[in-house]
Amino acid sequence: MAQGTNYKVAFRRRREGKTDYGARIKLVDYEKSRLVVRVSNAHATVQVIDYAPEGDITVASAVSKQLEKFGYKGSTSNISAFYLTGYLCAKRALAKDVDYAILDIGLKSPIKGSKIFAALKGAVDAGLEVPHGDFIFPEDERIRGEHVANYAESLSAEDVAAKFSKYLERGLDPKDLPENFEETLKNIDEAEV
């Protein structure tokens, strides 16, 4: 541990790896909302947040676990789930008259085609205006889950049962993931979020 009169202890949230204060100060703007995308091992969380001096205000929020209400049976932590979660959050934000936001990815690295940018594409496709470059998005085939369906088709029945047991428990054949994705997207559009 560093010692001496010049040593300064970092803020607790920086020590815990939760907040990059340099990046946050650049994002905080009284006039603009932030589209906050967070990744956990099991779920996607997408929020539209406004800054306030007394604390941030969450305007709209969606968690991938909520996709079950709209008929989604796939994994809640794959690229398809991130797209749908971003789409759902943007629909809720638009219903509250928020039509512009800037992307906040926290401490995650901006990797082309990652889950974070799938959530961004979902928000943009829903109608939320977010500054971005189209080259950063994952391919549409990956967003729909066609790569999962193709992989499942190449496996034997025993391997599918072993590798996709959670899908099968929810009543979804992994080969049907693209159809389930499209059905969920349609259900989100038709529902009052």
Give the chain's domain count: 1
Report the distance separating Cα 26 and Cα 141, nearest Å.
34
Is residue 3 one of the residues assigned to a domain?
no
The tokens describing 142, both together, are 């990956």
136-170 pLDDT, tens digit each:
999 999 999 999 999 999 999 999 999 999 999 99
Question: Which whole number is the average pLDDT over 45-65?
Answer: 94
Range with the poorest average pLDDT among 21-35, 36-50, 64-78, 163-177? 21-35
pLDDT at residue 22 is higher than 90: no
CA–CA separation, 117 and 21 (whole Å): 22
Q: Which residues contact 131 (CB under 8 A, 6 or more apart)?
A: 102, 103
Angle at the Cα of 191 (from 71 to 181), degrees rounded to 5? 35
Q: In terms of residue numbers, what domain contains 170?
A: 18-190
Residue 61 lies in a domain: yes
Q: What is the CATH number of the domain that holds 81?
A: 3.30.420.100
Express each pLDDT in 68-94 by its tens digit. 999 999 999 999 999 999 999 999 999
